[in-house]
């Protein structure tokens, strides 16, 4: 399946992916209204150390620890995409405890939130990828490594 992948060498560290993600998942039509003056809770985040930057978001693991560990049965795999049923999530953050990528975080309502490849919003394709000015994040099919 298609996943979001990161080309570290192309990342400019501009953080646009974070804003585009927060906007796409805000449910608001206007980007300014969605983001201005608000604390944002993007499902992708930029990490930075010694001049290197790159984006991190859910890897949609084949055998996801978050799904197996969720105490509420709120995380499941739908057609390869790891999704959270926020109405079931109680915000215990066991998923944060187990995700080896640091790709799950509490959202604005306290429920856990993560990248769902923009399948659950109106964007239609991952907003982080669409808005990346330097192709540092891509959405494509890649082969499993041997």
Partner 1 sequence: MNGYVLIGNGVAAAGCIEGIRSVDSDTPITVISKEKHEVYSRPLISYYLEGKTTISKMNYRPKDFYKKNKVTVIYGNAVSADMKAKEVTLDNGEKIGCKAVCIAAGSEPFVPPFEGLDTVEKKFTFMTIDDTLALEKAIGKKSRVLIVGAGLIGLKCAEGIAKRVASVTVCDLADRVLSSILDNECAGVMQKHLEKNGISFMLGDTVKRFDKNNAVMKSGKKAEFDVLVLAVGVRANTQLAKDAGCDTDRGIMIDTSMKTSIDGIYAAGDCTQGFDSSTGENRVLAILPNAYMQGRCAGINMAGGSSEINDAIPMNSIGFFGLHCVSAGSCPETSEVFEEKEKNSIRRLFIKDGRLAGYIIIGDVSRAGIYTSLVREKTPLDEIDVRRMKISPSLTIYSKEIRRKKLGGVV
Interface ranges with partner 1 (CB under 8 A)? 3, 5-8, 47-49, 52, 54, 56, 59, 61-62, 65, 68-69, 71-73, 87-88, 90-102, 104-105, 142-145
Q: 115: closest CA among 95, 145, 97, 135? A: 95
CB of 21 to partner 1, least distance (A): 16
CB of 102 or CB of 124, closer to partner 1 = 102
CB of 68 to partner 1, least distance (A): 5
CB of 24 or CB of 103, closer to partner 1 = 103
CB of 33 to partner 1, least distance (A): 27
CB of 47 or CB of 125, closer to partner 1 = 47
CB of 28 or CB of 135, closer to partner 1 = 135
Cα 132 to Cα 125: distance, rounded to the nearest angstrom? 13
Q: Which residues have a Cβ under 8 Å from the Cβ of 69 and sit 6 or more positions away?
A: 94, 95, 97, 98
Torsion sign across C-alpha atoms 45, 48, 53, 58: negative
First to last CA, the chain: 17
Whole-Å CA distances, 60 to 14, 29, 109: 24, 27, 23
CB of 4 to partner 1, least distance (A): 9
């Amino acid at each position: 399946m298609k996943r979001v992948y990161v080309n570290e060498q192309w990342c400019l560290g501009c953080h646009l992916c974070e804003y585009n993600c927060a906007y796409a998942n805000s449910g608001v039509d206007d980007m300014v209204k969605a983001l201005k003056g608000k604390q944002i809770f993007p499902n992708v985040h930029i990490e930075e150390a010694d001049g290197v930057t790159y984006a991190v978001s859910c890897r949609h693991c084949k055998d996801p620890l978050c799904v197996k560990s969720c105490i509420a049965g709120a995380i499941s795999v739908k057609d390869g995409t790891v999704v959270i049923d926020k109405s079931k999530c109680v915000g215990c953050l066991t998923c944060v405890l187990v995700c080896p990528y640091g790709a799950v975080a509490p959202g604005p309502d306290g429920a856990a939130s993560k990248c769902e490849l923009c399948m659950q919003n109106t964007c239609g394709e991952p907003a982080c990828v669409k808005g990346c000015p330097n192709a540092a994040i891509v959405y494509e099919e890649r082969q499993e490594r041997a």
